[in-house]
Each structure stands twice: as C-alpha cells, then as structure tokens.
Amino acid sequence: MPVVVVESPAKAKTINSYLGSDYTVLASYGHVRDLPPKDGSVDPENGFDMTWEVAAASKKHVKAIADALKTHGLEPDQIKFELFSESQQGRLAKQEMAKRSEGQAQTQVTVKIDGAQHSFTMAKGQSVLDAALENNLDAPFACKAGVCSTCMCKVTEGEVEMLSNHALEDYEVERGYRLSCQSYPLSDTLFIDYDHH
Ligand code: FES
C-alpha cells in the first residue's frame, strides 16, 4: 500500500478521501527538525555549527511516518523528503511575540478560504496560519519560515505584524498581502482572505 506524507492534517484527510483506502496518508504537522530552544544550539566559535533535533511535539508524527514506511517495505534510500527549518532569530521573535501578548485580549478572526468564511477567536501570540490550522481549516503552507509564500493571504480588515518576509515583494505587502505563517494579530478584529490572488 503506497504511503503519502503531507504537512497538514486537514490536507491528509482530504487527500486520503480522494485516493481511497488503498493509500495511507499521514501528516507531518509542519517541519519536524529544529534548533533546540536553548543556548548553544548555534556555535559561533565553530563556523556557526548548528545542532538540530526533532522537536518533541514532532516525534510522535515522525514515528508514525517511519512505522508506516517500514510496514510498507521501503528501503532508506527510497525515502526522500524536504525539510525546512526556522532560523533561531525567527524562533526568538516568535517567543517574544508570545510573551508580549500574554494576558492580552484575543482577536476575532474571519478567514475566507475556498469560497467559504469561518470565524473564530485566536490569541494574539499565535500566528494566523497556526490558528487557522488549529480550527481545522485547509490553509496552505509549506516552509512555515517566511520563505516559500505558499501561505500568502490578504489582510482586508485589521492589522497584523509580519515577523519575517523572504518571499513577498514590497508592492505585494503594500496591497495587503501577508505571509500568514509569520503574521500575528495587532488589531482586535481581522479579516483574512486566502482566495484573493
Ligand atoms: S509557509 Fe512558507 S512562507 Fe509561510
């Protein structure tokens, strides 16, 4: 039985419904390898050598994928995948954002995706993408590091702070486009449009 691995749990479910029960479709829940959140994960004395580890939350997903691949008899050199990793700077900025928003009121968000609107509240210390995924929306993403632009959306109401942007041009930002994986609410209400391209 073929095994398909995608990042998003919502996508895994949808793709499995298309492919049928002859396929095993599993989600990695985003990138699985990261720098450990402590001093010493980057060694500036040694050519900025980095220590990578599979994040604790990702271990169970990686195990499920490895078990499925083993069950289906794949050899190690048949298993190829792409890993994106967030920089230490990006992670620190997100930690800072979470700290800043502690105790603050939540934001009321409406997300438009695939022609339908969904409303929910989210913490100001959470990214728009993570909040959408948590609410079982099939929001697009790949790197979660501000690099690929897969998660691009348009903010048509309210304001977000984009922590990192290596993908959008200035004119796109001026038109209201944002990378949802890097966008944190500043306003009490938001309207996020994933359909607006
Ligand atoms: S998922 Fe790649 S830039 Fe957001």
Q: What is the CATH number of the domain that holds 111?
A: 3.10.20.30
Pocket test for ligand 1, best of 94, 130, 151 (most atoms within 8 A of CB): 151
Ligand 1 pocket check for 165: Cβ under 6 Å: no
pTM strictly above 0.75: no
Q: Is 65 in the pocket of ligand 1 (CB under 6 A)?
A: no
Q: pLDDT tier at 151 (50, 70, 90 boundaries)?
A: very high
- For ligand 1, whether the C-beta of 139 sits within 6 Å is no
Q: Is residue 160 classed exposed, middle or buried when 0-12, 13-18 and 19+ CB atoms within 10 A define those classes? A: buried
What confidence score (pLDDT) does residue 95 get?
72
Q: How many domains does the chain have?
A: 2
39 and 99 share one domain: no
What count of Cα atoms within 13 Å lies in the side-chain half-sphere of residue 75? 2
Contact assessment for residue 40 and residue 61, using Cβ atoms and an 8 Å cutoff: no
Query: Residues 57, 28: contact at Cβ < 8 Å?
Result: no
| Residue where one domain finishes, among candidates 85, 108, 123 | 85
**Tens of pLDDT, residues 2-14:** 888 887 878 888 8
pLDDT band at 65, cuts 50/70/90?
confident
Looking at the structure, tell me whether residues 121 and 173 fall in a common domain: yes
Where is mean pLDDT largest: 62-71, 95-104, 141-150, 164-173? 164-173
User: Does ligand 1 have an atom closer than 6 angstroms to the CB of 144?
Assistant: yes
Q: In whole angstroms, how large is the CA radius of gyration of the chain?
A: 18
Say whether both 35 and 100 belong to one domain.
no
Q: In terms of domains, do 74 and 98 share one?
A: no
Q: Considering only CA atoms, which of 141, 146, 163, 152 is closest in space to residue 196?
A: 152
Average pLDDT of the residues in 162-181: 92
Q: What mean pLDDT comes out for the span 14-19?
A: 91
Q: 75 and 41 in one domain?
A: yes
The finding on whether 28 has its CB within 6 A of some atom of ligand 1 is no
Rounded Cα distance between 15 and 28, Å, is 14
The predicted pLDDT at position 83 comes to 47
64 and 126 in one domain? no
Q: Within 10 Å of residue 13's Cβ, how many Cβ atoms?
A: 14
What are the phi and psi torsion angles at 43 (to 5°)? -105, 95
